[in-house]
Chains A and B, each alone.
Chain A
């Protein structure tokens, strides 16, 4: 059959920067190879084996989004995981915070805060990225020009320095 050559010639990194136009201007570090085995929701729990989305993997007993990426159900799912609402994304001693990007009532992305105050995101089926500001994932046409609108926090383990999120495993 005549299927054209693939994977496509556009590299994953090119796709990353094309789809996240603010990333290049933000101080950042790519901390993993591209992988389609987990997404940003899984990354909050450092689950490198599962793609967290209804019809793939979704935590047992957590409410599933009704229709297309129901923001309230994502919030409820994170609360099910022990997160609670907080007002700001500012670093707070003893807590790990997450920032949920949404467009109206639609969930688009979630980033988690590192002990340094920077943020770590898994970009869809592409790379893990440590980014200095939340703006790095704003203004993406692929993410509906969504912005971080919901902030949640959870008590953190002081021994967990999030080395994997800060520096990655494979990239020195």
Chain B
């Protein structure tokens, strides 16, 4: 299955959020906006089965270990483990977001989140920690329980 097909498949879920969620909009990115939006249960936050979660962990570790010296996350998109994580689809999203809480390979997880959602990996932020925080806020708004 091509990456483009995977993108389309995973993007079906985001039809209600076609606009860039990281566009400059202080109301959406503020902590206040996170409050009260966590009840949105349309996000398959904990939909990953144990089997998917275990598969994801193996693939993510393999990908991170194999691409550590790469200065470009775009290069990692060719790695078989990257493609396989894309193939996991929406259930991989909360698993990727969870990895952002550790300062380890975050650009890689951000790139994958961008591929799965078509949103900007860097979340229009200047630094990796800021981008990770934005994605975690986004996930919380979508109802993901970290």
Contacts and interface: CB of A to CB of B under 8 A. Distances in A.
Given A1-B50, A55-B114, A69-B72, A6 B57 contact: yes
- Interface SS of B by simple majority: helix
B54 A55 contact: no
A122 interface: yes
Contact of A50 (B48, B98, B127): B127
Question: How many A residues touch the partner, as a band?
Answer: 35 or more
Interface stretch (A36-44, A84-92, A150-158, A164-172): A36-44
Contact of B122 (A2, A36, A55, A68): A55
Contacts of B146: none
19 contacts: A1-B53, A7-B104, A8-B65, A35-B103, A36-B104, A36-B108, A37-B103, A49-B126, A50-B126, A50-B127, A54-B74, A55-B120, A56-B110, A56-B128, A57-B126, A68-B75, A109-B71, A122-B71, A124-B68
B97 interface: no
Contact of B65 (A10, A35, A57): A10
B137 interface: no
Interface of B: 46, 48, 50-51, 53-54, 56-58, 60-61, 64-75, 77, 95, 98, 102-108, 110-111, 114, 120-122, 126-129, 131
Contacts of B57: 3-4, 6
Nearest to A143: B69
A49 B69 CA distance: 18
B68 A37 contact: no
A112 to B, nearest CB: 13
Contacts, number: 130
B105 A36 contact: yes
- Interface SS of A by simple majority: loop
Contacts of B111: 55
Contacts of B64: 8, 125
B107 A51 contact: yes
